[in-house]
Structure formats: structure tokens, C-alpha cells
Amino acid sequence: MSINFAKIKVSGSWLQYIGLIVVTVLIVAFTHSVFGNVVTLANLRVLAMNMIFEAIMALGMTFVIILGGIDLSVASVFAFGEILVAKLMVEVGLSVPLAAAITVAVCALIGALNGAMIVSFRVHPMVVTLGTLLTLRGVNLAITDGRSISGFSDSFLWLGQGRILGVDFPIVFFAVAAVVLGMLLGHHRFFRQIYFIGGSERAAKYSGVDVARVKIAIYALSGFLAGCAGIMAAAKYGAAHWGHGNMAELKAIGSVAIGGADMMGGSGTIFGTVLGAIFLAVVHNAFVTSAVNPFWYDVVNGVMLLIAVLVSRVIAKQNERKMKSVRQQKIDRSLQPQSP
Amino acid sequence: MNKICLSLAAAALTAGSLLAAPVKAQQTEEHYAMVVFLKGSEFFNWAYAGFQDAAATVGATTELQGPADWDASAEARAVDQLVAKGVKGIAVTAGDADTLVGSINAAMEAGVPTLTFDSDSPKSNRLLFVGTNNYNAGFAAGKAVGEQIGGDARVGVSLIPGLDSINHRLQGFKEGLASVAPGAEVVAQVNDEGDLQKAETVNTAMLQANPQINVIFCAHGNPATGALAATRNVGRFDGPNKVHVLAWSIDVPILQGIEDDEYGSTVAQNPYMMGVQSFLQLWSAAHPTQFDSLTNPGMGQVPTADLDTGVKILKKGDPAIKALMTPPRI
């Protein structure tokens, strides 16, 4: 049996993934060969931990962006999660599990409130979540007086500094969450609906999809993951501070966009987001390794984000053209006179 | 799809060309790093310039790392990365004292000499702190106001409450003022929240409620422009009732304002010296001599006491103003 490789068609998304993997590997190979100290256990661990909290937030952001929305509030929910869990343990005296459970529940509730406001007031998600971002940032400052909270128990610190089989717990959390959420997104009926909503909200609504319910649930998921990231970050740094995670929302959005999701909604995968997060972590690591002026770091990130968005739009346009062509062919066939 | 591949290849080349610039230089020379919490800030540019210049005297290379937004966790990650990279020493200014403890301790445990400059992390195992002693700086500022205005000085303070650094400055200011002008007093304090517009609003209200105030002491870098605008708002920008605004900044607009007689004076810290001294201490720690450090075995001789880089109160005509008005390029 022979395989005709010329006939194998690779979808645009997969080409984008392959391109991203190739670029990432090239950067790693280049920096390692020139500067060394890149493919070492110590550096790879630091590289992974450097983006891990943004990557966890990016998982939730993937669902939101596929849905056709955006969640700018994740960074302040992240810092709020840090502060809330710290206050519940240090000032109220709650146990670690109880404080963590309350914190993730409150963060999910904040996300759900975002979703409810978007659905109820029919306001653009960017406006609602920007409002939440600014409000919560103010709350974070006000309830801490600008100071950090520290003095956590060892059992809590384990959530950020502990290891399972030599792998840092936040990385394990991210990997498990990525696999579970990736499977849900790919196969579960409820989560498949978000592609439908992101593609055409009106069509989804007329098809009987409870758009409001799905939206609120997805924004709650985004808040939940930001809360989880916040708890682990407080444990990792041994302190909760209002300034932690500043601009993390942009890195989370960047991971999703570079991973190939269409910013207009309707497409994207967890796998792509994971690749996007790894790419950003590798680029940042390359800057430190090469000692290039870090002022250029944001330039490269921004350019890559623009390229990724452009590529996603090109793929989306191609898909649209294909759909139209198929539709036209069907119409043409139906209009052809039937032979007796 | 070819276009997509071409775009990605172009991106790879762009990244590659950016990375290729300082090739290998650092592999043969000793390499040191500075980590700041506000990359691009003029203050830290001065500090890094001092760090670079001091390194150049011994043929070492340097790099600057840290976030462009105030995020101490990003600093902690930068320290972790630099340790993994194998730098010879790290000078870090702590965006938050507690957040940096873990990373600084890990760096010291890995044998990488690490010190704090400008903003300390006192609970960490850092070698020492290099920077302004806030009490001494406040004392110098209070003494300068007392000497210039005398016992008639009635001072309003623009500050952010709750910060240890600012509390120490204010305590020093009050004691410095009392040391030369016992009749002078601090009559009001306002919270400017570190925001220019807020500073204008609260200082305007303070001047309206306390017309006897003839000096505004800005206890940190941000509120000076707002405080000056407040003096305009109440018609006391110039003339016989002019309010003397004492800034705490070496930013060019403030220095120009002193030369133009808008501000009375400014407290000038010495970030350049912070950079120079930080490098020299790290160099010393990275080069053990015949006897190891008592406090940090395996490292060279470095004092454990904080190193006060001092301040100067700059007034119109001070030659230092001209020098400071040409910030370094990184």
C-alpha cells in the first residue's frame, strides 16, 4: 500500500500550529547553540514557571475568545484571588482548603457577574470586563493599603512551590487543566456550543442554544481559573500583592491569539493556546539568555501577536470563501433543469 | 498557506537577528545583572548607567531586566531566570519586599551574590542594601527648609500613607526642621495616592483649608507637578505669598522647574551611585580573597550594614542640575 502524500491536505490551523512549533524550536536551538544554558533542567523549569500563571488564565481566555468575547478582568481577578486567600488565612484564620475554596468560588462569581452584565445589558465584553479590571484593581489597593500580605503556612506554600514527581505543582495543575478542558472543548456538547455561538450568536439562539447560560458559565470558568492561578501565585511568591499579574491579561490574550484562535470568535483550541503560551515563554527566556535589551521584548511580542491575528483572519476568510463556494455549488445544482 | 509559512519564517528571522546582537561576548567575560520593577524609568536608567560604567572599569558585562509595569512577581521571575542563566551577581530593587524573598534566597543559596538597591527586601538573605537612607534624606530636606524659611515655615505634606519609606522620610523631615527652626511646624498632610491629578486636587484643598501653609513637602517622586498646579489654583504660584514646593525627584521637568523658579528645591537621590556601588559590592562578593566572608562563606568581603548613598537638596543654580538634566541612554 502506498500513500500519496501530495493528496494529504493539512488544514490551515494545523499549518499554523506546525509553523509555531518550528519557530519555537528554532529559537530554542538558536539561543542554546549561541549562548548555551537554555536546554538545561534548571532553565527549562524557570522557563515554564515564568509564564505558568498567565498560561492558566489563557486556558479560560480560550473559551471566552471562541465564544466571541474577551475578558480583560483576569489580571485583577488573579491579584484579587491572591489577596483574598491571603486575608482569609492570615487575618481570618481559615484553613488552607477552606480559604482556597472560598476564593475560587468568589472569583468564579466575579466571572459570572461579568457574564451576567454582558448578557443583561448587551454591552460589549471589552467594556464590562475593563470596568471590572479597574474596579477590582482599586479594591485590591484599597483593601491592602498598597502593602503585601505574607506569613503563610508551609502547607499553603506547597501549592506554589511543591513538586509532584519533580515537577512544580502549578505546572502539573496547568497540564491537567489543559488536558481536561481540551477534551471538554473538543467533545462535550455544552462546550461545543461555544463554537456555534462564536460563529453566529443569532443562529445559535434561533437553534435553541441558551446563549445567556453558556456565556455566564464561560466567564465564570475564566474567573475560576484566574482565581486558581492567583492562589498558586501567592503560594509561589510567599506574598500577595496588588501589583502581581499587572498586564497578565494581555499575555493571556496573546497566548490564545498566537495559538491560532480567531479573535472574532468561532475558532480556537486549547492545544493552540498551550503552543502560544510556550512560544511567549521561550521568547522571554531568549531575551534573558541573550541579554538583548529587554525594551525590545514587548516589540517582538506585539509583532508576533499581530502576525498571529493576521494569519488567523486569513484562515477564517479562506474558510468563509470555501463555505460560500460550497453553498453556491449546491444552489447551482438545485437550479439546474432536471433531465427527463 | 505558503504565505503563512513565509510569515512565520520571517518572524523567526526577526527574532534570530535580534538575538544575534551581543553574541558570545558575555560568555567570555563576567556577566552581572540588574533587575528593576519599572523598566524604562529615568531613575532606574541612572542606576543602570552607574552599574554599566562600574562594570566597564573591570571589563565585566551587564544586562537590565524587569517589567515595564510595577509587578514584583515579574521581578522575582527575572531573578530566577538570571540564576538559571548563571550570572555572577544580581542587584535587584524590590517592587515588593515580601515577594522577592523567595527568589533572592534561592539565588544566594545557588551561590549567586544578590543585593538590593533603592528598595529593600529586608526579610531576605540579600548581601546588603544599597540606597537612600530615608530618615537621613528626610532630615536633610527638613533642615534645608528650616534654614531657608526659618521658624515661620508652615508645612503641608503630600504623601502616600502607610508606606514605611515615606513614614521614615516624614519623621526625618520633622526632626531636621526642628533642629534648625524650632518654631516651624508641619500643619497638614494629604494623601495624593501617587497620582498627579489627585495630588493637584488634594493639595489645592489643603492650601484652601490652611492658608498659613507656605511650604509643600512632596514626600515621594510623583506629586510635585500636582502640588505646583495647586499653588497656581489658589493664586500662590508667585508673588509675596508664593508657596515653596519641595519636590523629591530628579526628573528633568522638575529640575527645569527649579531653574525657572517654579519649585523651591528638590531632594535629589543618587541612583547613579546606587548602580556604581551595587556593582562594586557584587564584584567584591564574586571574588573571594584569602579569607571568605564571615557572613556569606564562599563569597568575598562585603559589608552587611546598609550603604547610604545620600541625597543633595538642589536649589536654583546648583551645577548638579545641569549634569542631571542629561539623562543617560541605555
Q: Count structural domains, chain A.
A: 1
Query: How many Å lie between the alpha carbon of A275 and the closest alpha carbon of chain B?
Result: 14
Contact: B19, A30; criterion CB under 8 Å = yes
CB–CB of A283/B15 below 8 Å? yes
**Closest residue on chain B to A260 (Cα):** B4
Q: Please tell me the distance from the alpha carbon of residue B259 to that of residue B311, in angstroms, as a whole number.
A: 19
**Closest residue on chain B to A157 (Cα):** B102
Q: Can you give the pLDDT at residue B13?
A: 46
What percent of chain B has pLDDT above 90? 71
pLDDT tens-digit readout, B131-159: 999 999 999 999 999 999 999 999 999 99
Within 10 angstroms of residue A298's Cβ, the number of other Cβ atoms is 13
For residue A1, tell me if it sits in a domain: no
What percent of chain B has pLDDT above 70? 91
Per-residue DSSP letter, A194: H
Contacts of B77 in chain A (CB under 8 A): 46, 49-50
Contacts of A20 in chain B (CB under 8 A): 8
Q: Is the pLDDT of residue B316 over 70?
A: yes
Nearest to A143 by CA among A85, A96, A99, A224: A85
Contact: A30, B40; criterion CB under 8 Å = no
**Domain extent for A310:** 8-334
Q: Lowest-confidence range among B23-27, B86-90, B301-305?
A: B23-27
For residue A75, tell me if it sits in a domain: yes
Q: Is the pLDDT of residue B315 over 90?
A: yes
Q: Can you give the pLDDT at residue B165?
A: 82
Contacts of A249 in chain B (CB under 8 A): none
Contacts of B105 in chain A (CB under 8 A): none
pLDDT tens-digit readout, B44-61: 999 999 999 999 999 999
Q: Is the pLDDT of residue A141 over 50?
A: yes
pLDDT band at A339 (very low <50, low <70, confident <90, very high): low
pLDDT band at A5 (very low <50, low <70, confident <90, very high): very low
For residue A302, tell me if it sits in a domain: yes
Cell numbers representing residue B188 in the block: 497638614
**Residue B9 main-chain phi, psi, to 5 deg:** -65, -40
- Closest CB to A233: pick one of B63, B67, B73: B73
**Closest residue on chain A to B164 (Cα):** A147
Between these two residues, A85 and A142, which has the higher pLDDT value? A85
Radius of gyration of chain B (CA): 23
Mutate to test the interface with A, among B32, B73, B103, B164 (most CBs of A within 10 A): B73
Residues in a beta bridge with B308:
B131
Q: List, in order of start, the domains of chain B with CATH numbers.
A: 29-132+271-309 (3.40.50.2300), 134-269 (3.40.50.2300)
Contact: A239, B22; criterion CB under 8 Å = no
**Closest residue on chain A to B4 (Cα):** A311
Contacts of B21 in chain A (CB under 8 A): 290, 292
Contact: A16, B24; criterion CB under 8 Å = no
Q: Is the pLDDT of residue B307 over 90?
A: yes
Contact: B80, A16; criterion CB under 8 Å = no
Residues in a beta bridge with B244:
B215
Q: Please tell me the distance from the alpha carbon of residue B187 to that of residue B194, in angstroms, as a whole number.
A: 21
**3-class state of residue B183 by DSSP:** coil
**Closest residue on chain A to B82 (Cα):** A288
pLDDT band at A11 (very low <50, low <70, confident <90, very high): low
pLDDT tens-digit readout, A31-45: 999 888 888 888 899
Q: Is the pLDDT of residue A19 over 70?
A: yes
pLDDT band at B181 (very low <50, low <70, confident <90, very high): very high
For residue A339, tell me if it sits in a domain: no
Q: Lowest-confidence range among A8-17, A200-209, A279-288, B87-96?
A: A8-17
Helices (H), B20-133: 25-28, 42-57, 72-85, 101-109
Average per-residue pLDDT in chain B?
A: 89
Q: Is the pLDDT of residue A263 over 70?
A: yes
Q: Is the pLDDT of residue B14 over 60?
A: no
Q: Is the pLDDT of residue A10 over 80?
A: no
We report the CATH number of the domain holding residue A268 as 1.10.3470
For residue A177, tell me if it sits in a domain: yes
Q: Is the pLDDT of residue B257 over 90?
A: yes
Mean per-residue pLDDT, B175-196: 92
Residues in a beta bridge with B155:
B186, B215
Sign of the alpha-carbon torsion through A188, A189, A194, A195: positive
Q: Is the pLDDT of residue A227 over 90?
A: yes
Mutate to test the interface with A, among B8, B48, B101, B119 (most CBs of A within 10 A): B8
For residue A185, tell me if it sits in a domain: yes
Burial of B187 (0-12, 13-18, 19+ CB in 10 A): middle
Contact: B72, A241; criterion CB under 8 Å = yes
Q: Please tell me the distance from the alpha carbon of residue A164 to that of residue A235, in angstroms, as a whole number.
A: 15
Q: Please tell me the distance from the alpha carbon of residue B219 to that of residue B249, in angstroms, as a whole number.
A: 10
The ipTM estimated for the assembled molecules is 0.77
Residue carrying C-alpha cell 546588603: B128
Contact: A290, B22; criterion CB under 8 Å = yes
Q: Can you give the pLDDT at residue B28?
A: 59
Cα angle: A256, vertex A260, A262; to 5 degrees: 85
Between these two residues, A37 and B272, which has the higher pLDDT value? B272
- Closest CB to A239: pick one of B9, B67, B99: B99
Contacts of B31 in chain A (CB under 8 A): 291
Query: How many Å lie between the alpha carbon of A99 and the closest alpha carbon of chain B?
Result: 20
pLDDT band at A318 (very low <50, low <70, confident <90, very high): confident
For residue A71, tell me if it sits in a domain: yes
Contact: A49, B85; criterion CB under 8 Å = no
Q: Does B177 touch chain A (CB under 8 A)?
A: no
Residues shown for chain B: 330
Q: Chain A neighbours among B 19-38 (CB < 8 Å)?
A: 19-24, 26-27, 31
Kindly give, in sequence order, each residue whose CB lies less than 8 Å from that of residue A154, ignoring residues fewer than 6 positions away: none
Q: At what angle do helices A211-237 and B72-85 cross, to 10 degrees?
A: 60
